[in-house]
Structure 1
């Protein structure tokens, strides 16, 4: 063996569930060369070998965020922040909107994101009239934390051509008050006319967003992501922006492109333009197509088989009819894509499983590994069906922390507490790949790791303690399982010899001290054997 290029010594190296924990790791070029004790690995050093003393810190495989929105995250990083951390009351929220509006040119769009009615002091979202007063000279589009519901002011509604005579499309909802006047709240597909009225970001803005969000990932130890709906914000221009970022050396992380399919998506146009599954290289590759089937549980738009608590007329929204869902699923399956279907409620999961099973029966592919994104309220019979069909869940454990209390409010304990059942999925033989869904939730993977380990909500409640997992299993969900659902388990997700040298180093060893997971941070990130983030 040639002398290693980099040694990480005197630490705790979690190499994988099967590989266990070691003291040190040797890296040669872009590959893991050896694992062992500090003495064994130090003995491999050559004249040009760089050595880093971990000082007892925890090193893990580089993290994989299996479902997030890299390009939209980069764009929202420069939009107005209305998360509960920034605006804890309605008055504070409106004051932030007014402050941003005052700094904008007349007529420029005011884009904001992050409000959650369950975290506001008034227990409701802002209204159209309140946004009119805060931003009288600018169209305002203010998105809920989940990304599925938005409030618009009058200027935004007018530019979108929406008024009291407008009819909500399939899978959408337009809220009206008792007098029939629009409140400004739009859900799911009803938001499409507003988004179509917004000016599209320039190529330079899109590339900047990709790089900005990618660097943020590296600071958290995340080396690979799936961008879960490429084309959602700027259509086909997003594909060319990704190519431009890659060609210019401005793509900081590995990206699996999941093209937005279904109504309003780009999958058909991309296919006509020559995009095929596997287009790209190890840094940027087209792999999946996404279909939306429902919305969010917190917004009461996730499609459920039983009504939401206290509103017997509401069971959420299905974005597609059963026939439409089967047709889209079969088309993308026959084209060779891996399906990544957004389905949160059990009714949406059922529709998805029916469509996937029909497609697999028509064109069998036992190792396609179609995915259900979120999959939050899967019933036990649906979990068993997924295991039989080889369909994997891709959940966001951080939802338990951020939205768990709200789930209990809108669904009741019997249905809410067992949501996102990491342990149950693993025991069924599945590989639940953890993710953040950023910018829906914070990018920080430690929040999801803590949520899997504790199942605690923001207020300290516990969402079914039987679903807790060990720190090692939580790490596997962010490493091995993330590689598995992308069919990359032979090259990524573990620190075995011959695997890609992607490593994250954390300031505290939360394998030994699980309670320290929320207090730690990533201090070093290595991608392809090169240090790409150093926060020591």
Structure 2
């Protein structure tokens, strides 16, 4: 394949711009001008004339949940519902329209009480009982760190007033000790273990749909946290689904698995089976050990060093003690595993950095590429710690769409000023890798780039941008979605830029995002996605 007349931004500092690319056997064999590239043409090789359109390396979403997103395609989408009443009505309509049998689980996701008009409380079991008393129902909050269920689901999961609370999580109870159907943090597992798991074939069939949707957004690589959709010890079901799709030639994305493992016992089992960072190939590869150290800002379960500004009764949830975190981080580090740890609140990050620092002090390792996922609520000390320990910052620019409205009310003015400080991280030469956390937010990369460079939501607010001194340049944002992601998976030598010898993963955009007004970037379309040298 030969691509000519392009406006090519290679993301290769040695040769940042080009006009044409030659591709053979899934690899880039030449980057240059039209004449240089077409000199290699023989026979009836396909020629694509871009007519001056922008060509970039394929996008890499550095943190998302591909299996969860793919399975969620069949769930009830509650992202647009503006009240508990609307949630009830939407779910009733879905049950009736789809003629869902009595006893079958009803699953929905995406609700956010902060968007409710009027009463901004969480739904509870009694609200969901109005949907149905004959179907077990579970509805995930948009963040994934809180679920609500109805009485039928509590019955099936055998959760009563006598059920013990779990460590590092809890379920809400009323004044009589009865469960209200609201589960937070690790308590979610009490419900999820009662839900039938998808089969390998079901996972594969849904993954094909999910990958097609990602390709339509120009995504050719993802770093995906998937193990959480099956039981603690059933992670091999996820690995099997990916490997079977790869062996059948049905993968249209490269997947670097962020291996979510709940505790050190399951992690030891994982290691005993021979899995470690780098196991696999260019299509599917085992990546870092993924840990959850706290919850989310929207649910007030992100672990802060101070009480929440808008709810002084809580400082959020730590999902590990310091000792537990030290132990599993050290075991991962000593066994050659990369680490990617979910930490949103500053208290969670202090604990994670302490665990990483202890492990690195005992066993120094250059190029460890450990990272913190989300890293939202930071202070000056934490921002410096990223550079000091050479830790990757996995950021999600699209989070600004919602979070700019609540950060100050959640954490107060002082802490808000040093939070979401992406430009500060870049200026400190911290490695950033951009993603979406899909399905928490959309994996539309152009939306992510727009929010990174404008610091505005998709409605154009706030005017002038939120903390506009933290805006990234278009170049920095594109780097985060290409080379930044490749670096995070130790693959910067094979992808992330358009260079001779690299994998032929590319995206063509409808407009040149380097030249148009920043407010128009969000409306740019993906016109073509090339994966492994083929149009997808």
- Scaled by the length of structure 2, the TM-score of the pair is 0.94
- Supply the distance in 2 between the matched residues of 1:36 and 1:431 (Cα, whole angstroms): 29
Q: Name which of 76, 92, 97 aligns with 1:80.
A: 76
Alignment of 1:284 with 2:284, yes or no, is: yes
Alignment of 1:482 with 2:485, yes or no, is: yes
- Supply the distance in 2 between the matched residues of 1:381 and 1:108 (Cα, whole angstroms): 50
Contact 2:67 2:226 in 1 (8 A): no
SS in 1 for 2:433: coil
Return closer, same or farther for 1:61/1:271 CA change in 2, 3 Å cut-off.
Answer: same
What is the match of residue 93 of structure 1?
A: 87
SS in 2 for 1:433: strand
Contact 2:226 2:259 in 1 (8 A): yes
Unaligned 5+ residue runs, structure 2?
Answer: none
Contact 2:345 2:377 in 1 (8 A): yes
Q: Deviation per CA, 1:373-408: give whole Å up to 9, x if none.
A: 111112221121221211111111111113321323
Alignment of 1:524 with 2:528, yes or no, is: yes
User: What is the Cα deviation at residue 53 of structure 1?
Assistant: 1.4
Contact 1:17 1:472 in 2 (8 A): no
Matches within 5 A, 1:98-109: 98-102=92-96, 103-109=99-105
Return closer, same or farther for 1:132/1:198 CA change in 2, 3 Å cut-off.
Answer: same
Contact 1:90 1:126 in 2 (8 A): yes
SS in 2 for 1:163: coil
What is the match of residue 184 of structure 1?
A: 181
Contact 2:218 2:507 in 1 (8 A): yes
Alignment of 1:211 with 2:187, yes or no, is: no
Contact 2:104 2:136 in 1 (8 A): yes
Return closer, same or farther for 1:167/1:456 CA change in 2, 3 Å cut-off.
Answer: farther
Please say which of residues 395-404 and 243-252 is displaced more in the overlay.
Answer: 243-252
Contact 2:61 2:223 in 1 (8 A): yes
Return closer, same or farther for 1:205/1:476 CA change in 2, 3 Å cut-off.
Answer: same
SS in 1 for 2:373: strand
- Supply the distance in 2 between the matched residues of 1:458 and 1:148 (Cα, whole angstroms): 24
Contact 1:262 1:328 in 2 (8 A): no
SS in 2 for 1:518: helix
Q: Name which of 181, 198, 202 aligns with 2:195.
A: 198
User: What is the Cα deviation at residue 287 of structure 1?
Assistant: 1.9
Q: Name which of 155, 158, 167 aligns with 1:158.
A: 155
SS in 1 for 2:225: strand
- Supply the distance in 1 between the matched residues of 2:168 and 2:156 (Cα, whole angstroms): 22
Alignment of 1:240 with 2:229, yes or no, is: no
- Supply the distance in 2 between the matched residues of 1:198 and 1:230 (Cα, whole angstroms): 15
What is the match of residue 14 of structure 1?
A: 9
Matches within 5 A, 1:388-467: 388-416=388-416, 418-457=418-457, 460-461=461-462, 462-467=465-470
Please say which of residues 358-367 and 298-307 is displaced more in the overlay.
Answer: 358-367
SS in 2 for 1:201: coil
SS in 1 for 2:414: helix
User: What is the Cα deviation at residue 125 of structure 1?
Assistant: 2.7
- Supply the distance in 1 between the matched residues of 2:250 and 2:89 (Cα, whole angstroms): 36
| Count of aligned pairs | 525
Q: Deviation per CA, 1:116-138: give whole Å up to 9, x if none.
A: 11112132232211110112211
User: What is the Cα deviation at residue 447 of structure 1?
Assistant: 1.5
Q: Deviation per CA, 1:474-520: give whole Å up to 9, x if none.
A: 10000010011111111110112222211011111111113321111
Contact 1:372 1:394 in 2 (8 A): yes
Unaligned 5+ residue runs, structure 1?
Answer: 1-5
- Supply the distance in 1 between the matched residues of 2:352 and 2:387 (Cα, whole angstroms): 14
Alignment of 1:49 with 2:45, yes or no, is: yes
What is the match of residue 334 of structure 2?
A: 334
- Supply the distance in 2 between the matched residues of 1:272 and 1:40 (Cα, whole angstroms): 51
SS in 1 for 2:432: coil
What is the match of residue 3 of structure 1?
A: none
- Supply the distance in 2 between the matched residues of 1:364 and 1:144 (Cα, whole angstroms): 40
Contact 1:340 1:370 in 2 (8 A): yes
SS in 1 for 2:140: strand
What is the match of residue 324 of structure 1?
A: 324
Alignment of 1:23 with 2:19, yes or no, is: yes
Contact 1:161 1:193 in 2 (8 A): no
- Supply the distance in 1 between the matched residues of 2:171 and 2:521 (Cα, whole angstroms): 42
Contact 1:232 1:260 in 2 (8 A): no
Contact 1:405 1:457 in 2 (8 A): no
- Scaled by the length of structure 1, the TM-score of the pair is 0.94
Return closer, same or farther for 1:266/1:509 CA change in 2, 3 Å cut-off.
Answer: farther
- Supply the distance in 2 between the matched residues of 1:265 and 1:47 (Cα, whole angstroms): 58
Contact 2:12 2:498 in 1 (8 A): no
Q: Deviation per CA, 1:174-213: give whole Å up to 9, x if none.
A: 2234554432211110110100000111121111122221
SS in 1 for 2:108: strand
Q: Deviation per CA, 1:65-102: give whole Å up to 9, x if none.
A: 11111111110011111112xx2333222111112233
Q: Deviation per CA, 1:26-67: give whole Å up to 9, x if none.
A: 223322233333444344433233211112221100011111
RMSD: 1.8
User: What is the Cα deviation at residue 21 of structure 1?
Assistant: 2.8
